A and B are shown apart, each in its own frame.
Chain A
Amino acid sequence: MSDIYLDNNATTMVDPAVFEEMKPYFCEQFGNPSSLHNFGNKVGFALKKARKQVQDLLGAEHDSEIIFTSCGTESDSTAILSALKAQPERKEIITTVVEHPAVLTLCEHLETEGYTVHWLEVDSKGRLDLDKYKSLLSDKVAIVSVMWANNESGTLFPVEEMAQMAAEAGVMFHTDAVQAVGKVPINLKESAISMLSLSGHKLHAPKGIGVLYLRRGVRYRPLLRGGHQERGRRAGTENAAAIVGLGKACEMAAEHMEFENTQVKAMRDRLEEGLLAVIPNCFPTGDPDNRLPNTASIAFEYIEGEAILLLLNKVGIAASSGSACTSGSLEPSHVMRAMGIPYTAAHGTVRFSFSRYNTMEEVERVIEEVPGIVAKLRKLSPYWGENGPVENPGEAFAPVYA
């Protein structure tokens, strides 16, 4: 039996059709798109086509609003630092406590450089308080950066509404849409979003390619200066093959948008329902009514996520966890902590994230395997008795922490 990949929020397989499309741009069409001759010229046309494909998926008004970068993180950094450089009199940033490290760590760093960062908190379902947000908008704010969808819980944020509120207050709005692009319909020309980041490898394009959408007319300062590539807004020779791949991937994502929101969603729902039905003391995290169609984040109480993942991996199932021990930092997931999930549950959070390559057969296999793994680990847990959690787990087991 082949392995089951349910970690598509981490990265995705390059679609074979995407790979096919990329192949000529290594050994045959290797020219520099800036060159005048035939070698370069053809590549230039290929990039133009790819830019159009990205534009179509995002519903951007102009193809020149698409800037190719190296990854989502570069797009995020470029967007936020550009807003600060372009408006030096504005020293405040609004963001959320559940952002991806690409935004979170940058904002923490900017705090040490004298900027004021307003951190929007979330409730137990991962939702923001829009009144609080509105009260923070002012002419001191250089940029708002809020993710479209959370990578761990899949919870969607009302970024279009928030962008409108920012626009009314005269504030730039950036969204890290790395998890959302290709999974939920996006139509930027109808929105007030100033900037948007996306990452190729989350939607079946290769790693090492990203996009910054920059609305026409939004004041901008490049992160990388040098050549005239991307109209001088992102210098550096284009990663032509990857750009071509991303274009194809965007075209395919648009074609599969309905499938993603029906079939993929059905697999996710079946998995969640199947696991919740047979495993006691587990619950979905985030906002089940308002989330990505492909993501299920389930907290298994009284056990730890890394242990679950290792046992899943042993039976050929790949997922990921918000547990402390799966990240290099040992920090428990900031997203789970922000939602106020007790740590005996936050530690046992497992994220299953689907793609259009998964099948219902795989889902059924996972539903068969997980209960035994959870039971095995609970047998080892000091919080677990014969047939359920010990009475008053917090009192029955209260270790001395060091």
Chain B
Amino acid sequence: MWDYSEKVKEHFYDPKNAGAVEGANGVGDVGSISCGDALRLTLKVDPETEVILDAGFQTFGCGSAIASSSALTEMIKGMTLDDALKISNQDIADYLDGLPPEKMHCSVMGREALQAAVANYRGEVWEDDHEEGALVCKCFAIDEVMIEDTIRANNLHTVEEVTNYTKAGGGCSSCHEGIENILTRVLAENGETFVAGGAAVPAPAAAAAKAPESPKMGTLARIRKIEAVLDSIRPALQADGGDVELIDVDEKSIYVNLTGACTGCQMAAMTLGGIQQRLIEELGEFVKVVPVAKESLVSMGA
């Protein structure tokens, strides 16, 4: 059985805002193709202020789909539509104290239902912009479509490259056979053959190139280094209309704020993972990159 958090169980056993809202003026119907779950979100929006007065859900789905729906309605009630749209699927998962990687698509479905309902309220037509495939890497929740697209876009040829670009396969490595199969298939599209690169057996840790021993950095030097790493990543984010800003550093935790197009982007979790990876390499120590919205940090009194 899944390892669900207490919060998920709470929202599943006793869901909040179940059922359709009376006098709703925004409705979003979306489903997840990977598991067949589906959700209808109904909103009652104040036309003057665009504040969400009430929200209700009806879900055909598993425990985490119902819990994600319940959490979403709790989160958005009282928000303006613009603020509500800033909620990412990761925010929904965080609200529930996390979801198993296989179940992250439930939170994605919640976020999409919200977008669809807002579009419906505004008289727009919502179009889904992402495609979901079978989950390949369970450590980092990377699916098949993501890996295929990345291989094609960047002309990748090895499992190691796929890991560098998507993180898939960077954890327990049990999905390497699956990644090799995807490489074989995608490369065959261009008449290429997949050749397993590198050694068949990884070198033991001691022989592997060690991360550069960093002499103990002073706080200021460390923050400068972090800023430098973020600066080097920034152009890539800006190219996609996003940005990252350093909020705070607290020992091993580095708080950043993803802004612009990064906000609510499906790829945000991956982007953060990539930033974390770079920081670990550059600083030569383990650090955790924590996403925060600037406002929430202020309200936390940090």
Q: Which residues of A contact B (CB under 8 A)?
A: 302-307, 310-311, 313-314, 323-326, 328-332, 343-344, 347, 379-383, 397-402
Contact = CB atoms under 8 A, between A and B. Distances in A.
Interface of B: 1, 12-13, 15, 18-19, 29-40, 57-66, 102-103, 109, 112, 116, 126, 128, 130-132, 134-135
Given A325-B35, A402-B33, A397 B40 contact: yes
B185 to A, nearest CB: 10
Contacts, number: 103
Q: Give 10 nearest A-B pairs by CB, closest first.
A: A325-B62, A306-B62, A382-B58, A399-B31, A402-B128, A399-B29, A382-B40, A324-B35, A399-B38, A401-B31
B61 A307 contact: yes
A324 B36 contact: yes
A380 B58 contact: yes
Contacts of A305: 62
Contacts of B36: 324, 332, 343, 347
Contacts of A325: 35, 37, 61-65, 103
Nearest to A330: B35
Q: Which of B13, B58, B103, B116 has the most A CB atoms < 10 Å from its CB?
A: B58
Nearest to A329: B134
B19 A379 contact: yes
Main DSSP-derived SS at the B contact region: mixed
Given A324-B35, A343-B36, A382 B60 contact: yes
12 contacts: A302-B60, A303-B60, A325-B35, A325-B37, A329-B135, A331-B134, A332-B35, A347-B36, A379-B18, A381-B59, A397-B29, A402-B128
Contacts of A329: 134-135
Contacts of B64: 325
A307 B13 CA distance: 9
A402 B58 contact: no
Nearest to B42: A382
A382 B65 contact: no
Given A324-B35, A382-B38, A397-B29, A306 B63 contact: yes
Contacts of A313: 1
A62 to B, nearest CB: 40
A164 B60 CA distance: 46
Contacts of B1: 313, 326
A329 B2 CA distance: 12
B155 to A, nearest CB: 24
A332 B60 CA distance: 14
Contacts of B39: 382, 399
A249 B178 CA distance: 39
Given A325-B61, A400-B128, A307 B33 contact: no
B131 A402 contact: yes
Contacts of B102: 328, 330
Q: Of residues A330, A331, A397, which shows the largest number of chain B Cβ atoms within 10 Å of its Cβ?
A: A330
Most buried by A among B1, B30, B35, B66: B35
Contact of B30 (A326, A328, A400): A400
A332 B103 CA distance: 14
A323 B15 CA distance: 21
Contacts of B13: 311, 314
B60 A304 contact: yes
